[in-house]
Structure 1
Amino acid sequence: MAAAAATFATGATAGGHGIDLTGKTVEWVIPFSETGGSAKWANFYAPLLSEALPGQPTVVVKFMPGAGSTKGANWFQEQTYEDTQGTLIFGSSGSTQFPYLLGDPRVRYEYNDWNVVLASGTGGVAYLPPDLAAKMDGLDASGLRDTDFIYGSQGATRLDLVPLLAWEMLGLNVEPVFGIKGRGDGRLMFERGEANIDYQTSSSYLKGVTPLVEDGSAVPMMSWGALDADGNIVRDPTFPDMPTFKEVCEATDGCETSGDQWEAWKAFFVAGFPAQKMVFLPAGASNDAIVSYTKAFEEVKARADFAEISAKRLGKYPQMTGDEAAAALASATQVPDSAKAFVVNWLQERYGVSLN
């Protein structure tokens, strides 16, 4: 009876949640600048999460850019739940996952130590200035091969390897300018004329690039696509009228959708986008805290207006909690050895990046 009473008391805390955050401030650390897709994702969720968490704490998004997100991730690895008591969460992205997958020596974080409470799928869109977009013949990108492209990049071992490898497969001459702190900074380079090709994840594209398309200063080239139930690449549900990279590749002479290069690209696309952004509690988080945050995100997803407001800000992608989030984490932090070997060799040969 005593055990049952204790269990009931715990479950009854703060309206059925396991922890009470009344009067507290939750820091949501984003390891990028405030201009990119991760910022827009966190800023969308923060007020909704505040309403849903037990005690309705203030949720503050804090930006910690540097080293393509490894700076912030390494910092989070050093934090423990014992010190924060549920007042610290971390938002990772594909640019955090890829250095981990590739064995980047700067990585000192371990995903298996963290506790996932939300996984958000997303997509990505590549776009061009109108004069260069006019060189494409329908879906055929071969007309772009005589152009010298400049691209603002966070780094070749980050999520940027997906567009960089895709453009190379199309035979484009794209020279990355490494070192930007977030994809939003790449968009600003494009707007200033310092770059003439760019890509953004869906949330940043919807917010920051759609106005450029509407005023005629940018033209979408392709999306990366999405996965159907059988693992095939299909059109992105947020951009159903936009061709996928697979379609553009099939229409462009010399670009193959089979073989080692394609399989490597697809493996890292799968690792980087279907579970592109995730929310974690730090090492040692109590079950009560994990349950509280999971329930809070589930309550957010259950809002009557969630589908409408999330589609406008994030796009139409799965927002996963519980077992689904755990499965998404597993798929996002594993790639076949053959794909990893191909990319590691490509990074060395193409960019002089050694991960040994």
Structure 2
Amino acid sequence: MRSATAAVAAAVGGTTCVSRDWSASRRSADFYKGKTIDLYIGYSAGGGYDVYARALARHMTRFIPGNPAIVPKNMPGAGSLVLANWLYNVAARDGTAFGTIGRGTAFDPLLGSTKAQFDADKFNWIGSTNDEVSVCVAWHTTGIATLEQVMQKELTVGGTGPAADTDQFPKVLNATIHTKFKIIAGYPGGNDIDLAMERGEVMGRCGWSWSSVIATHKHWFDE
């Protein structure tokens, strides 16, 4: 499956886009000069979304007139649904707050989630930091190395929220090719699932971007 790694959304009414119009650019520079922009991350520290967001924060400032400081802040919960709701209903709408949420979170209202308190069409969508392949992995002690084996043997995987990739991927695979993934919910972020695998709490993880696997846990494959 291929999809964008992280959807980045600004608070409704806010803008961090640089206008091509010179006068608008000058007004933006006057507004942002000396200010701080908060970049909220819908997952816990150390995971793929966190890594991408912090890299974005380091480089994005030079593309914004006035070169404001960008400060990353974690707000994990429910596969970034907590942050999506907060951005829509609470965050400042003056261009000083935006966030990175799960790529599937915008579909929560369409999937019937009663906890989604936002209209995705009214977010100002800025962009995506990547486009790549996502994978499911099994811890080396499980003895599972192929998808065919998961069709025969149950594999517990950690989940961060109903609309998150960690939950959606195994659900789709179970429904379409009859795999036996069992989701253990309640983890605030992907990094917490990784630690849970090492502790033996879960046996694997799904919906994991390959670049994130290599960036954060390459040593697992080198050992």
SS in 1 for 2:83: helix
Letter matched to residue 29 of structure 1? Y
In the alignment, the residues of structure 2 paired with residue 9 and residue 161 of structure 1 have an alpha-carbon distance, to the nearest angstrom, of: 44
Per-residue deviation at 1:131? 5.0
Q: Are 2:96 and 1:87 equivalent residues in the alignment?
A: yes
The TM-score, its normalising length taken from structure 2, stands at 0.77
The 5 Å alignment of 1:150-229 reads 150-159=156-165, 160-167=167-174, 169-199=176-206, 200-215=208-223
In the alignment, the residues of structure 2 paired with residue 150 and residue 65 of structure 1 have an alpha-carbon distance, to the nearest angstrom, of: 22
Task: Tell me the residue number matched to 2:119.
Answer: 110
In the alignment, the residues of structure 2 paired with residue 158 and residue 174 of structure 1 have an alpha-carbon distance, to the nearest angstrom, of: 15
In the alignment, the residues of structure 2 paired with residue 209 and residue 127 of structure 1 have an alpha-carbon distance, to the nearest angstrom, of: 12
Task: Tell me the residue number matched to 1:61.
Answer: 72
Deviations 1:218-277 (A, max 9, x none): xxxxxxxxxxxxxxxxxxxxxxxxxxxxxxxxxxxxxxxxxxxxxxxxxxxxxxxxxxxx
Residues matched between the structures, number: 201
Aligned CA distance change for structure 1 residues 49 and 195 (closer, same or farther; 3 Å): same
Q: Are 2:139 and 1:129 equivalent residues in the alignment?
A: yes
Contact 2:78 2:162 in 1 (8 A): no
Aligned CA distance change for structure 1 residues 127 and 9 (closer, same or farther; 3 Å): closer
Q: Are 2:61 and 1:76 equivalent residues in the alignment?
A: no
In the alignment, the residues of structure 2 paired with residue 135 and residue 207 of structure 1 have an alpha-carbon distance, to the nearest angstrom, of: 21
When the two chains are superposed, the root-mean-square deviation of aligned CA atoms in Å is 2.7
In the alignment, the residues of structure 1 paired with residue 53 and residue 81 of structure 2 have an alpha-carbon distance, to the nearest angstrom, of: 18
In the alignment, the residues of structure 1 paired with residue 141 and residue 22 of structure 2 have an alpha-carbon distance, to the nearest angstrom, of: 66
In the alignment, the residues of structure 1 paired with residue 152 and residue 170 of structure 2 have an alpha-carbon distance, to the nearest angstrom, of: 18
Task: Tell me the residue number matched to 2:9.
Answer: none
Aligned CA distance change for structure 1 residues 167 and 188 (closer, same or farther; 3 Å): farther
Letter matched to residue 151 of structure 1? V
Identity %: 23
Contact 1:99 1:107 in 2 (8 A): yes
Per-residue deviation at 1:130? 3.3
Contact 2:29 2:67 in 1 (8 A): no
Per-residue deviation at 1:123? 2.9
Structure 1 spans left out of the alignment, 5+ residues: 1-6, 216-356
Letter matched to residue 129 of structure 1? W
In the alignment, the residues of structure 2 paired with residue 107 and residue 208 of structure 1 have an alpha-carbon distance, to the nearest angstrom, of: 30
Per-residue deviation at 1:168? 5.3
Task: Tell me the residue number matched to 1:330.
Answer: none
The TM-score, its normalising length taken from structure 1, stands at 0.50
SS in 2 for 1:89: strand
Per-residue deviation at 1:77? 0.9
Structure 2 spans left out of the alignment, 5+ residues: 1-19
The 5 Å alignment of 1:315-334 reads none
Task: Tell me the residue number matched to 2:13.
Answer: none
In the alignment, the residues of structure 2 paired with residue 172 and residue 101 of structure 1 have an alpha-carbon distance, to the nearest angstrom, of: 25
The 5 Å alignment of 1:1-356 reads 10-11=23-24, 13=26, 20-79=31-90, 83-120=92-129, 121-132=131-142, 136=146, 141-159=147-165, 160-167=167-174, 169-199=176-206, 200-215=208-223
In the alignment, the residues of structure 1 paired with residue 24 and residue 95 of structure 2 have an alpha-carbon distance, to the nearest angstrom, of: 16
In the alignment, the residues of structure 2 paired with residue 8 and residue 186 of structure 1 have an alpha-carbon distance, to the nearest angstrom, of: 45
Instruction: Please identify which structure carries the higher strand content.
Output: 2
SS in 1 for 2:39: strand
